[in-house]
Amino acid sequence: MADRRVVTVRPEQGSYAWTFGGAAPVARIAPGTVLDLFTEDCFAGRVRSAGDLVSQVCEFPFLNPQTGPFYVEGAEVGDTVAVHFVSVEPARDWAASTTVPLFGALTSTHTTATLQPPLPEVVWMWELDRQRRTCAFETREGGMRIELPMDPMHGTVGVAPANLEVRSALVPDAHGGNMDTPEMRAGTTCYLGVNVEGALLSLGDGHARQGEGETCGVAVECAMNTVVIVELLKGVATPWPRLESDTHIISTGSARPLEDAFRIAQLDMVRWLQRDYGFAELDAYQFLSQAGESPLANVCDTNYTAVAKIRKGWLPPGTPHRGLHDELRSAAVGLRP
Amino acid sequence: MADRRVVTVRPEQGSYAWTFGGAAPVARIAPGTVLDLFTEDCFAGRVRSAGDLVSQVCEFPFLNPQTGPFYVEGAEVGDTVAVHFVSVEPARDWAASTTVPLFGALTSTHTTATLQPPLPEVVWMWELDRQRRTCAFETREGGMRIELPMDPMHGTVGVAPANLEVRSALVPDAHGGNMDTPEMRAGTTCYLGVNVEGALLSLGDGHARQGEGETCGVAVECAMNTVVIVELLKGVATPWPRLESDTHIISTGSARPLEDAFRIAQLDMVRWLQRDYGFAELDAYQFLSQAGESPLANVCDTNYTAVAKIRKGWLPPGTPHRGLHDELRSAAVGLRP
Amino acid sequence: MADRRVVTVRPEQGSYAWTFGGAAPVARIAPGTVLDLFTEDCFAGRVRSAGDLVSQVCEFPFLNPQTGPFYVEGAEVGDTVAVHFVSVEPARDWAASTTVPLFGALTSTHTTATLQPPLPEVVWMWELDRQRRTCAFETREGGMRIELPMDPMHGTVGVAPANLEVRSALVPDAHGGNMDTPEMRAGTTCYLGVNVEGALLSLGDGHARQGEGETCGVAVECAMNTVVIVELLKGVATPWPRLESDTHIISTGSARPLEDAFRIAQLDMVRWLQRDYGFAELDAYQFLSQAGESPLANVCDTNYTAVAKIRKGWLPPGTPHRGLHDELRSAAVGLRP
Amino acid sequence: MADRRVVTVRPEQGSYAWTFGGAAPVARIAPGTVLDLFTEDCFAGRVRSAGDLVSQVCEFPFLNPQTGPFYVEGAEVGDTVAVHFVSVEPARDWAASTTVPLFGALTSTHTTATLQPPLPEVVWMWELDRQRRTCAFETREGGMRIELPMDPMHGTVGVAPANLEVRSALVPDAHGGNMDTPEMRAGTTCYLGVNVEGALLSLGDGHARQGEGETCGVAVECAMNTVVIVELLKGVATPWPRLESDTHIISTGSARPLEDAFRIAQLDMVRWLQRDYGFAELDAYQFLSQAGESPLANVCDTNYTAVAKIRKGWLPPGTPHRGLHDELRSAAVGLRP
């Protein structure tokens, strides 16, 4: 790994980005650069105890701070930026989750608008045991202690959007952003299509773990120390964010209603099977229909995110994204903390 | 198992049910009865080669034949019928899948109505190797042979609906029906709320396997030899179908748009956690948000079906459905073919 | 009008239908018959004062009683039944409206399921002044008296559904049913496709008036004295209910999400323009896009209903439904009360 | 009208805005200023004959040019900008409409993604007769000439969005933007909540007329000469765009799925009835449910837009927006061309 430049960024207060697009780059990096990053939690670190209600301690729209953006040298419209997650490690021994008024899947919201009052605003503090790889909380009523495996991930990874837009870091869409999928964990490569020169990559919103769908709208939110390798695939277009793990290829779609998010991800997977695995269109449709896994990512954000996965062992021979994932997995070995 | 009555039903042509509700029972059974059943495939067995197009060989509305209904003695409104799947075994060494005009997730449909012509109607015949537990098809273009693990399941299990209704066997809703979830496999117990005296249980729509979401609308469809034990939980209400496996408790929701199917399943899981595991409402919401799995079942039927799962090992102590699943697992041991 | 048979039906308690399909006909009628009907309100007449809460006085599923069904002689699958509304007159000098727990557009529901408690259950009694053609209510708080024009209509008109189904009278779908469109007023002809021999027409759910969308889920509900002429169009198919007034041709679609209801109605209008007015498909699409009116019918029922209207004066020459509406308008003259 | 400053803006090529937010103001104006504007059509004037296909002559993302933005002096977050349409007059004697690949309500799209090919791309040129107030097109097949009343309006009116965002001019949302409602005609006042200092108002997307729902996604698109008066309501918040005509008060909502757009508009109308007409919440809900009109605006854009209307004559006494509409109607008299 001697040949990879390492750029370390631990932002100070006031130097986070709150949008995709519209923020000045914090650094210019060459393809192949290793980024050693600190990301703050989605509350900008302001929810630190059960008494810290989002509606009181957070300052809209300064939610979901992003570390970045990074200007990737040579990245042009029509290329793809690859972000390989070498490690994603909670930076503190605690995390927080909460209900947020009129936000989440099991409440009316500002768009699924009803006359009902919001649910109560309740905070749960989670303990993270980084050795045992667990996270735990105590129920607010009944005093049960619940322990779950830690499974750290980033809810938000993205580039500047197309169409001259600037989007809030809370939004998931074709540029990535707040997709909130548990698939975005260490060992995974995320592919993002480039919409503006330099791509303007940023990431944040660490979760010690998250259920599929992120039902209440908020995961086990924590600051992260995260190492990624950033690469560039020239001349490869990626209309919607894709991921690749050692075991699966993964498409995403973000839209409303949820069936459209599903359709986008599934159609993208058909196109992926056609491009990299030699399937004809309807054969790919048939294969996906029988082989696909379809876990939900989030059903709470401004767009919902669905995921389409295929197990690599079930695929015919193919070399997605020029074999970059395997290459980055190897490169990552010496970089883990 | 000497004390369980076994009822064997292998319907003749003309003796299937095409609806939930509205069909006369084929048998009255006592709780605890073992049903040894043959179920025909969703095409009523008429798609037997690549030339058998659904639009030509099938006769609407005679699709998705159900074996049953069974009148469960003592079942009354407010009770729950439990169906434990002892074994689900393909009855033939082949299965069929196909596109169907204006049906499926990646096409316009009769309700997501557009001016575009339908996709081509193409049939894929699948070979089932019941020893090796595989199923395989050859692509229509390029001649690739694709082999996948067999994972047999029933797309359709249900009881007569509430509200005086009779629903097509193609519909999933609160009465169960065509939920098309791969979770409905051997070793699982399905709980269905009783809406009419006798419950009127039937099942069909065997799949040698199915992807999550059943994208093209049609799984690897095959006739099945299936053994179930039917039990009755008096005084236990089940508003939406629930499943229980050795590893998970599972709620379902069926509705449109897809986010409503998700909401129903998630809310049902919150209620389940409250009733059987001692959670307060918002604590259950928090736990589910971090621990839940949310694979889609179908995104093609008249209602879409979403599933909410929780790993049993992560739950606090509790005894769902009076411990019936464990009891039926034991009872099933001697009944497997 | 000497040649039209008049059939008068004023059902007794216990002789209403609660479903479309599945109910025995109350009469066989020849095409051309005049039906002189009484219809009870959607509460089965049980909400008679502000203290009569639906959750207490009504008995599920015995809501939305239908007068009928009528077996139309000669009606076969593929034909169309036409129902011309000669007169729709409130049968009492009062009507009722109410909130219903977990029902309506501005509340979570059983399918748009949330953890929030239902809205309060409140009844508003309306006074109907049949001479002045007004209806009025007093606000529950502040004592304002609000008076609106009376505009009597039927929320529910339908035939037995296809696919062997029986649907609750609360459901709107391709068979008609609970469409809840204010367009269903005196002077209008409703066309319904026949799905079973005899069609099995019924109607009910009178509204003294209703806003577009029926936001709270309940209109100004009242019993009606209604006169219709029933005709039969042999060999004319009607996939989704259509209406015709003196000024407009009107298509309907009922589905979820609401955009699908819109798509169905709009596509049906394109097909109507093609069939009866000589448009090519894309020319019809263009014309509709610039000339169409799209008032919502209901956004609260189990399916939502959208309406597509075109002003007759803007259409090129054409003779929809063999000129039946004009003929029935003439025939109706002598039948009005 | 001697006391109103008139600012005339006829943008040159290259000086349009393509977004809401993110563009430098073309002028600073004091409240009360009259803007005398030219707006180019949504195609940036590039579709001028039946051979000019959008996919060939237009350059993404340079669609839907906006005239502006205007910095309104004194406008701060929490205030409301009022835009009174004095006159909206087609600037040419022709207009254009077209299908656009994968755009519109009766086709699959980039988000309602299917495997079907797009509809054919067809252009219709419309003749505008500004004296007779008509617009007409000839069908592409069959040579029918169709004439409709002219009803000029602006599809797009908005301010800079909240949350640090910049949105494409093709998007409708809480900041206004591409709402595409035929209600935005001369004689109407549009109220927009201010999200950034100076509001940054712009408008464009003239339609000689448009059907409700804008089914094919494209109206009768034309350049406009438009005169508006811009006013400022200090200390009045407007969460979603509202309109006021001589006959109606009108709320809007923009979201997906369409029922959410409906919910937003309806809930906003309940709040309006509470604030300006003295209704209690549930009384407003009841009144709206019986008195509301709910025509759709667009069912094709990135968000769909629904409209909630109440006839002023049916309202109890009230003074919406401090009587500004009436005042601007008077002021407009001397300003009409």
pLDDT tens track for D71-95: 999 999 999 999 999 999 999 999 9
Instruction: List per-residue pLDDT tens for chain B, 337 residues long.
Output: 457 899 999 999 889 999 999 999 999 999 999 999 999 999 999 999 999 999 999 999 999 999 999 999 999 999 999 999 999 999 999 999 999 999 999 999 999 999 999 999 999 999 999 999 999 999 999 999 999 999 999 999 999 999 999 999 999 999 999 999 999 999 999 999 999 999 999 999 999 999 999 999 999 999 999 999 999 999 999 999 999 999 999 999 999 999 999 999 999 999 999 999 999 999 999 999 999 999 999 999 999 999 999 999 999 999 999 999 999 999 999 887 6
Read off the amino acid at residue B321: H
Cβ-based neighbour number of residue B205 at 10 Å: 29
Answer whether D289 sits within 8 Å of C146, measured CB to CB. no
Listed residue (B161, B163, B176, B203) closest to B21, CA to CA: B161
Is pLDDT at C81 greater than 50 in this prediction?
yes
Is pLDDT at C1 greater than 70 in this prediction?
no
Contacts with B257 from chain C: Cβ below 8 Å: 256-257
Helix, strand, or coil here: C38? strand
In a domain, D334, yes or no: no
Q: What is the mean pLDDT of residues A93-120?
A: 98
Answer whether D267 sits within 8 Å of A113, measured CB to CB. yes
Element (H, E) at A328: helix A324-332
Answer whether B119 sits within 8 Å of D117, measured CB to CB. no
**Minimal CA separation from D47 to chain C, in Å:** 16
Q: In chain B, which residue's Cα lies nearest the Cα of A312?
A: B148
End-to-end CA distance of chain A: 14
Q: How many Cα atoms are found within 13 Å in the side-chain-facing hemisphere of A32? A: 6
Can you read off the two tokens belonging to residue D261?
């757009």
How many angstroms separate the CA atoms of D28 and D33, rounded?
10
Query: In this predicted structure, what is the pLDDT of residue D274?
Result: 98
Q: In the beta sheet, which residues pair with residue B206?
A: B154
With contact defined as beta carbons under 8 Å apart, do C161 and C167 qualify?
yes
Cβ-based neighbour number of residue B276 at 10 Å: 17
Query: In this predicted structure, what is the pLDDT of residue A1?
Result: 45
Answer whether B106 sits within 8 Å of D117, measured CB to CB. no
Q: State pLDDT tens for residues C131-149.
A: 999 999 999 999 999 999 9
Instruction: Share the mean pLDDT of chain A.
Output: 97
In a domain, C78, yes or no: yes
In a domain, B329, yes or no: no
DSSP H stretches of helix in A30-108: 54-57
Contacts with B209 from chain A: Cβ below 8 Å: 290
In a domain, A25, yes or no: yes
Query: In this predicted structure, what is the pLDDT of residue C125?
Result: 98
Of A271 and A337, more confident: A271
| Total domains present in chain D | 1
Q: State pLDDT tens for residues A287-307.
A: 999 999 999 999 999 999 999
Query: In this predicted structure, what is the pLDDT of residue B1?
Result: 45
Contacts with D113 from chain B: Cβ below 8 Å: 106
Listed residue (A262, A272, A321, A324) closest to A293, CA to CA: A262
What residue has token string 């540029």? Answer: A175
Answer whether C119 sits within 8 Å of A115, measured CB to CB. yes
In a domain, C291, yes or no: yes
Compare CB distances from D120 to C270, C282, C299 and report the shortest one's residue: C282
Q: Which residues of B touch C (CB under 8 A)?
A: 18-19, 21-22, 60-61, 110-115, 162-168, 170, 253, 255-257, 260, 263-264, 266-267, 270, 281-282, 285
Answer whether C263 sits within 8 Å of B111, measured CB to CB. yes
With contact defined as beta carbons under 8 Å apart, do D264 and A113 qualify?
yes
Query: In this predicted structure, what is the pLDDT of residue D3?
Result: 75
Query: In this predicted structure, what is the pLDDT of residue D195?
Result: 98
Query: In degrees rounded to 5, what are phi and psi of residue D18?
Result: -115, 5
Q: In chain D, which residue's Cα lies nearest the Cα of A261?
A: D111
Query: In this predicted structure, what is the pLDDT of residue B34?
Result: 98
Establish, for the pair of chains C and D, how many residue pairs have beta carbons separated by less than 8 Å.
Answer: 198
Which are the contacts of B94, defined by CB distance < 8 A and separation ≥ 6?
B48, B125, B126, B127, B128, B222
Q: What b-and-e string marks burial along A90-126, b requiring 16 or more CB atoms within 10 Å of the CB?
A: bbeebbbbbbbbbbbbbbbbbbbbbbbebbeebbbbb
SS (H, E, C) chain D: CCCCCEEEECCCCCCCECEECCCCCCEEECCCCEEEEEECCCCCCCCCCCCCCHHHHCCCCCCCCEEEEEEECCCCCCCEEEEEEEEEEECCCEEEEECECCECCCCCCCCCCCCCCCCCCCEEEEEEECCCCEEEEECCCCCCEEEEECCCEEEEEECCCCCCCEEECCCEECCEECCCCCCCECCCEEEEECCCCCEEEEEEEEECCCCCECCCCCCCECCEEEEEEEEEECCCCCCCCEEECCCEEEEEEEECCHHHHHHHHHHHHHHHHHHHHCCCHHHHHHHHHHHCECEEEECCCCCEEEEEEEEHHHCCCCCHHHHHHHHHHHHHHHHCC
Q: What is the dihedral of CA D234, D238, D242, D244, to 10 degrees?
A: -30
Q: State pLDDT tens for residues D111-148.
A: 999 999 999 999 999 999 999 999 999 999 999 999 99
With contact defined as beta carbons under 8 Å apart, do A81 and A90 qualify?
no
Q: What is the mean pLDDT of residues A252-277?
A: 98
Query: In this predicted structure, what is the pLDDT of residue C13?
Result: 86
**Minimal CA separation from C13 to chain A, in Å:** 36
**Residue A125 belongs to what domain range?**
6-170+180-238
Query: In this predicted structure, what is the pLDDT of residue A336?
Result: 75
Element (H, E) at A289: helix A281-291
Answer whether A211 sits within 8 Å of B142, measured CB to CB. no
Helix, strand, or coil here: C199? strand
Q: Which residues of A touch C (CB under 8 A)?
A: 106-108, 112-119, 257
In a domain, B168, yes or no: yes
Q: In chain B, which residue's Cα lies nearest the Cα of D258?
A: B257
End-to-end CA distance of chain C: 14
In a domain, A331, yes or no: no
In a domain, A54, yes or no: yes
Can you read off the two tokens belonging to residue B123?
């049939």
Q: What is the mean pLDDT of residues A85-111?
A: 98
Is pLDDT at A19 greater than 80 in this prediction?
yes
Query: Residue C200's domain is classified under what CATH number?
Result: 2.60.120.580
Answer whether D115 sits within 8 Å of B108, measured CB to CB. no
Listed residue (A154, A295, A144) closest to A226, CA to CA: A154
Is pLDDT at D337 greater than 80 in this prediction?
no
A145 confidence band (pLDDT: 50, 70, 90) = very high
Contacts with D164 from chain A: Cβ below 8 Å: 18-19, 22, 61, 166, 168
Is pLDDT at D1 greater than 50 in this prediction?
no
Choose, out of C16, C62, C108, C165, the residue to mutate when testing the contact with B (most B CBs < 10 Å). C165
Is pLDDT at D14 greater than 90 in this prediction?
no
The DSSP symbol for A91 reads S
Choose, out of D112, D127, D216, D289, the residue to mutate when testing the contact with C (most C CBs < 10 Å). D289
Q: What is the mean pLDDT of residues C145-161?
A: 98
Can you read off the two tokens belonging to residue C319?
């003779």
Is pLDDT at D319 greater than 50 in this prediction?
yes
How many angstroms separate the CA atoms of A139 and B283, rounded?
6
